[in-house]
């Protein structure tokens, strides 16, 4: 029985986050989502918080409102993320700030606030988002890969800090999936990237959902601090 | 200190004491050498405290603020220090 979970998913206005939210709603879950833009999803079991994940005050208010409304949060999926393709020497400082603000600080703030509720519940699941760009050390994605390396490291330490409270913390690292995030990557670059995977195709939203559901499943209570990459990429 | 401030201080102190294991004395220690909570205990206690403060005062405060971390002496060391610190955060 999967229905009835309360799940907070960040970055639900489009792409993987939207697909995940739709999947969870179809399973009977209650979903809280967020993005800087207004909701693109309407469902009686969906509530949307319009916020920037790097805004501490907004994150605190949204998470606590969600806990008050639903009484608990069973799972947090930190999907919101941005990428930037550029040679390191051509990257403006502000890009580094923005990428770390969304990918790392956003993940940290949501983990911190939701984990407070989970510590009180003595249970919970957290799934963070990384990318194969990190283990592949992809040229042209130094800032993006570095921000996700920070997410991976944070995931592994947090797993140890929250283990005694019955909370698991893991990460999924998708290969390229055709969403807005990768639409500006040149075709030749994309082919070269896919060629480095053991299984050379684009990922799908279903591939990502499969790993997230594995981490969320009740049987996975002994799986924590792990990073699973899609497509046969190794860390 | 006016009457409402005094009430607020008393209410904060009561909530803090409520959440701690029963201890002797006027100003029980919370965290640090010889104190009852270990770091996991402190994490649980602070999560509960934020929740109770929100219920009581309708304010979402974050106890792990820059202000707490930049102090020479931890505001989490004993009940008096934590009460004073929470009252300050509530006044912001
Ligand atoms: N697609 C891929 O090929 C791929 C591969 C590996 C990893 N990933 C990871 O998967 C996750 C989702 O990617 P995606 O492809 O679905 O991206 P996407 O299509 O660009 O969607 C990103 C979502 O995150 C939200 N978002 C971005 N910045 C935000 C911020 N500061 N505050 C709040 N919400 C924010 C966006 O909404 P707003 O713009 O309205 O805020 C949007 O809903 C990311 O963490 C990404 O790094 C994706």
Provide the ipTM. 0.89
- Number of domains into which chain A is organized: 1
- Say yes or no: B47 contacts chain A, CB-CB below 8 A: yes
Report the C-alpha gap between A168 and A216 in whole angstroms.
9
- Is the residue at A235 inside a domain? no
Q: For a pocket test of ligand 1, which of A80, A128, A131 has the largest count of ligand atoms closer than 8 A to its C-beta?
A: A80
Chain A nearest C-alpha distance from B59 (Å): 9
Report the C-alpha gap between A23 and A2 in whole angstroms.
12
Report the C-alpha gap between A211 and A229 in whole angstroms.
9
Categorize the per-residue pLDDT at B20 as very low, low, confident or very high, splitting at 50, 70 and 90: very high
The residues of A annotated with a catalytic role in the active site are 144
Q: Is A108 helix (H, G, I), strand (E, B) or coil?
A: helix
Q: Is the pLDDT of residue A86 over 80?
A: yes
Average pLDDT over residues A166-174: 98
**For position B42, what pLDDT does the model report?**
95
The range of the structural domain enclosing residue A145 comes to 6-228
- Annotated domain spans of chain B: 3-90
Q: Over the stretch A33-52, which tens digit does the pLDDT of each residue have?
A: 999 999 999 999 999 999 99
Question: From the centroid of its chain, how far is CA B75?
Answer: 8
Q: Whose CA is nearest to atom 45 of ligand 1?
A: A81
Helix pair angle (A106-121, A56-70), 10° resolution: 30
- Give the pTM: 0.96
Encoded tokens for A60 = 């605190």
The CATH number covering residue A127 comes to 3.40.50.720
Q: Over the stretch A116-169, which tens digit does the pLDDT of each residue have?
A: 999 999 999 999 999 999 999 999 999 999 999 999 999 999 999 999 999 999
Encoded tokens for A76 = 């947090």
DSSP A119-157: HHHT-EEEEEE--TTTTTT-TTBHHHHHHHHHHHHHHHH
Check A116 against B62: CB less than 8 A apart: no
Q: Helices then strands (H, E): number in chain A? A: 7, 7
- Is the residue at A206 inside a domain? yes
The conformation of residue A222, written as its DSSP 8-state character, comes to: T
Average pLDDT over residues A71-91: 97
Report the C-alpha gap between B7 and A233 in whole angstroms.
60
């Amino acid at each position: 029985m999967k229905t009835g979970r309360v799940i907070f998913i960040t970055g639900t206005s489009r792409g993987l986050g939207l697909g995940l939210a739709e999947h969870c709603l179809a399973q009977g879950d209650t979903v809280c989502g967020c993005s800087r833009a207004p909701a693109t999803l309407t469902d009686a079991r969906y509530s949307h918080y319009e916020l920037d994940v790097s805004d501490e005050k907004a994150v605190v208010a949204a998470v606590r409102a969600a806990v008050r409304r639903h009484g608990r949060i069973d799972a947090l999926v930190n999907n919101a993320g941005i990428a930037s393709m550029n040679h390191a020497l051509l990257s403006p400082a502000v890009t580094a700030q923005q990428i770390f603000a969304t990918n790392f600080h956003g993940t940290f703030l949501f983990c911190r606030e939701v984990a407070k509720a989970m510590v009180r519940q003595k249970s919970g699941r957290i799934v963070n988002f990384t990318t194969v760009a990190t283990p592949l050390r992809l040229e042209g994605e130094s800032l993006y890969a570095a921000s996700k390396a920070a997410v991976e490291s944070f995931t592994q330490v947090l797993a140890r800090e929250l283990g005694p409270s019955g909370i698991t913390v893991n990460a999924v690292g998708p290969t390229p999936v055709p969403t807005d995030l990768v639409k500006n990557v040149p075709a030749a670059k994309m082919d070269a990237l896919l060629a480095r995977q053991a299984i050379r195709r684009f990922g799908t939203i279903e591939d990502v959902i499969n790993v997230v559901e594995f981490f969320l499943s009740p049987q996975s209570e002994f799986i924590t601090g792990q990073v699973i990459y899609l497509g046969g990429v190794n860390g | 200190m006016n009457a409402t401030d005094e009430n607020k201080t008393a209410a904060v102190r009561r909530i803090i004491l409520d959440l701690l294991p029963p201890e002797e004395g006027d100003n029980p220690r919370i965290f640090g050498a010889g104190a009852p909570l270990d770091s996991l205990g402190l994490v649980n206690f602070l999560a509960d405290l934020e929740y109770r403060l929100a219920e009581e005062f309708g304010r979402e405060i974050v106890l792990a603020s820059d202000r707490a971390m930049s102090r020479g002496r931890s505001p989490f060391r004993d009940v008096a220090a934590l009460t004073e610190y929470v009252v300050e955060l509530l006044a912001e």
